[in-house]
Amino acid sequence: MPNKFLKTISALIFIIACSYSFVIGIKNIFRYNMFSQEYNRIQDRYVVEQERNQTYHQQLAEMETPTYWELEARKQLGLVLPGESVYKLVNKRRF
């Protein structure tokens, strides 16, 4: 009789331990999937930000040339160098 009781207790403890491990395992699988998705989102965002950074570096490289600044001065400030003539076309036809 004590041997049967001991086997029953051992089986019960084994079942409880397996159930606990199963529940913890499932919980960790869900956690892993959540972190994996977050990692993938962050990695995708990192690639996008790297491309933006590359674009900014190209723009900065273009800004270092004197030609860029001359064109910007012409567009925004109306720069006219000595010896140059400016022509403005006026449309007389009104709609």
How does DSSP classify residue 77? I
- pLDDT band (50, 70, 90) for residue 78: confident
- Is the model's pLDDT at 52 over the cut of 90? yes
Residue 92 belongs to some domain of the structure: no
> Please, which residues have CB within 8 angstroms of residue 69's CB and are 6 or more apart in sequence?
63
- pLDDT band (50, 70, 90) for residue 1: low
- Is the model's pLDDT at 2 over the cut of 80? no
The answer to whether the CB of 80 falls within 8 A of the CB of 86 is yes
Residue 87 belongs to some domain of the structure: no
Residue 46 belongs to some domain of the structure: yes
Residue 90 belongs to some domain of the structure: no
Domain of residue 60 covers: 2-77
> Please, which residues have CB within 8 angstroms of residue 80's CB and are 6 or more apart in sequence?
74, 86
Residue 23 belongs to some domain of the structure: yes
Query: What's the whole-model pTM score?
Result: 0.52
Residue 84 belongs to some domain of the structure: no
Residue 86 belongs to some domain of the structure: no
Q: How many domains, the chain?
A: 1
Which long-range contacts link 29-36 to residues 24+ away (Cβ below 8 Å)? Answer: none
Mean pLDDT comparison of 1-5, 17-21, 43-47, highest-scoring range: 43-47
The answer to whether the CB of 20 falls within 8 A of the CB of 28 is no
